[in-house]
Amino acid sequence: MAVSVFKMLGFFVGFFLIVGLVSSAKFDELFQPSWALDHFAYEGELLRLKLDNYSGAGFQSKSKYMFGKVTVQIKLVEGDSAGTVTAFYMSSEGPYHNEFDFEFLGNTTGEPYLVQTNVYVNGVGNKEQRLNLWFDPTKDFHSYSLLWNQRQVVFLVDETPIRLHTNMENKGIPFPKDQAMGVYSSIWNADDWATQGGRVKTDWSHAPFVASYKGFEIDACECPVSVAAADNAKKCSSSGEKRYWWDEPTLSELNAHQSHQLLWVKANHMVYDYCSDTARFPVTPLECLHHSHRHH
């Protein structure tokens, strides 16, 4: 009996060491402004990003990561936000980059904000989904997260999955798992497409448009710039004694509750899915065929 108790203790100690990688921190410990420093305002734990007719603003993580979870709490632009986009995303660099996007598309007062998600693999995107949220994202802070491991990429809003991108390499579909990614956010004017396909323009008399941030968390495997991609992939994967939480079997797919949540989101809140856009894709994209069969 004693042996198994020690083994269990060993497991728990190991588990907490793993969890100890979490870096939940102030903005400037994890991130730095990437442009328009004069459009940043710091108020204690809060960061505000400002868009006016001179400039938007953006920030990026100081490090790049491979696998793990990144979360930020955002309160989106209040009132008339038409034409504006606030983005939170992970991306690698280069022409064949990988990218996971949240883009929050502003709207005229009273109309719901739309959330557009997209996934790029090896430089190829065109996988947009759009949904409205089950709350007003301008009234309070909500958490937006990206969970990424070798089996799946999960987009989460307040821990509810809104999108799943599964590893289907066995079907010949490439999966993002060998490029370290930075974490980014920005606000900019995109009135050529953001609101009702570009029909509604930004009303600059309502500027500045302000997105507020807090609760920055990155619990992920940090990748030194000097290290080759293959070595990072190895370093950030569990092997032998080294166990990372994101490789645990429970995270290789959604659990039953999460699967139901995702189905609920799709049924009640999704307004656009590239998989069913036959005008753009007369031939259904391969991953769509396989994803649709995965509903338990």
Q: Which residues are catalytic?
A: 99, 103
Each residue of 202-245: pLDDT tens digit?
Answer: 999 999 999 999 999 999 999 987 888 788 888 898 887 788 99
Please write the tens of the pLDDT for every residue from 269-285.
999 999 999 999 999 99
User: Which parts of 128-208 fold into alpha helices (H)?
Assistant: none
- What pLDDT is stored for residue 67 in this prediction? 94
What average pLDDT score do residues 69-85 get? 95
Domain boundaries, the chain: 34-223+238-289
Residue 66 pLDDT > 90: yes
| Single-letter amino acid code for the residue at 290 | H
Give the model's confidence band at 23: pLDDT under 50 very low, under 70 low, under 90 confident, else very high. low
- How large a percentage of the chain has pLDDT more than 70? 90
Position 265 scores a pLDDT of: 97
Q: Which residues of 231-265 are buried (b: 16+ CB within 10 A; e: fewer)?
A: ebbeebbbeeeeebbbbeeebebbeeebbebbeeb
pTM here is 0.90
Tell me the average pLDDT of the chain. 89
For 91-121, the pLDDT digits (tens) are 999 989 999 999 999 998 878 899 999 999 9
- pLDDT of 46 above 50: yes
Using the predicted structure, report yes or no on whether residue 174 has a pLDDT greater than 90: yes
Task: Dump the DSSP string for 22-84.
Answer: -EEE-HHHHEEEEE-GGGEEEETTEEEEEE-SS--EEEEESSEEEEEEEEEEEEPPPS--TTE
Interval 125-140: pLDDT, tens: 999 999 999 999 999 9
pLDDT of 289 higher than 90: no
- 2.60.120.200, 2.60.40.10, 3.30.43.10, 3.40.50.300: CATH of 34-223+238-289: 2.60.120.200
